[in-house]
Chain A
């Protein structure tokens, strides 16, 4: 079955500290992986995506993520967190365009709080 697991429901870090948000997936075909961020009451903004090639991908706002096929993981990282990074973070997996693989399968999200 296709699924995405984000083991951490809530994470609190201090401003300036490093951050890693975990994401594990189960997907039968070649996965396309995404991280989205959702601020309170807002829509979803794409942080970064992995389709193929270099397994370390860079995104917006200083975020990066590493695809590890052997671990079925796509963890999100940021070396120094800013107070404005407080939000909900969602990991999602999708497939290529053949058949019905276009839909995204989502994790339940990780809520990030940043202490001053």
Chain B
């Protein structure tokens, strides 16, 4: 059973370009989370999605950032008009369908390291 897949592993963009980060959850998982890790910092929650729904986007910057998790295909984190401050490692995690009052482990992908020149 393959783990969480993220691609590309490394992405270089110039200021003003768009960055598209992909995440394929583990088989059978229907919940996806995106986290950002800035240099010398811990991870910060960005967004939590289920298939075709954004459940919690409280950690997403208000502008330029968007995320989707379509019925078919991977989850996409899209950053428009990138700036140098967007340089970071972006991690995706997935978990299976859950029962209320329980908690399921989040399984992490290897991350995409975005560098903005």
Give chain A's interface residues, CB within 8 Å of chain B. Answer: 4, 32, 36, 42-46, 49, 51, 90, 92, 94-98, 100, 102-109
Contacts and interface: CB of A to CB of B under 8 A. Distances in A.
Interface string B33-64: 10100000111110010000001101100000
Contacts, number: 69
A85 B111 CA distance: 21
Contacts of B1: none
A31 B104 CA distance: 13
Interface centre among B35, B91, B100, B106, by most chain A C-beta atoms within 10 angstroms, is B106
The SS class assigned to the B binding surface is: loop
B91 A49 contact: no
Interface in B11-43: 31, 33, 35, 41-43
A95 B55 CA distance: 15
Given A32-B103, A96-B100, A97-B98, A90 B55 contact: no
20 contacts: A4-B42, A42-B111, A43-B91, A43-B110, A44-B91, A46-B105, A46-B107, A49-B105, A90-B42, A97-B101, A97-B103, A100-B48, A100-B58, A102-B55, A102-B98, A103-B45, A104-B43, A104-B45, A106-B35, A107-B42
B69 interface: no
Given A103-B58, A106-B35, 7 more contacts: A45-B108, A97-B103, A98-B100, A102-B103, A103-B56, A104-B33, A106-B43
Given A100-B55, A102-B48, A103-B56, A108 B42 contact: yes
A5 B108 CA distance: 22
Contacts of B99: 97
A106 B44 contact: yes
Nearest to B92: A43
Given A44-B91, A108-B41, A103 B103 contact: no
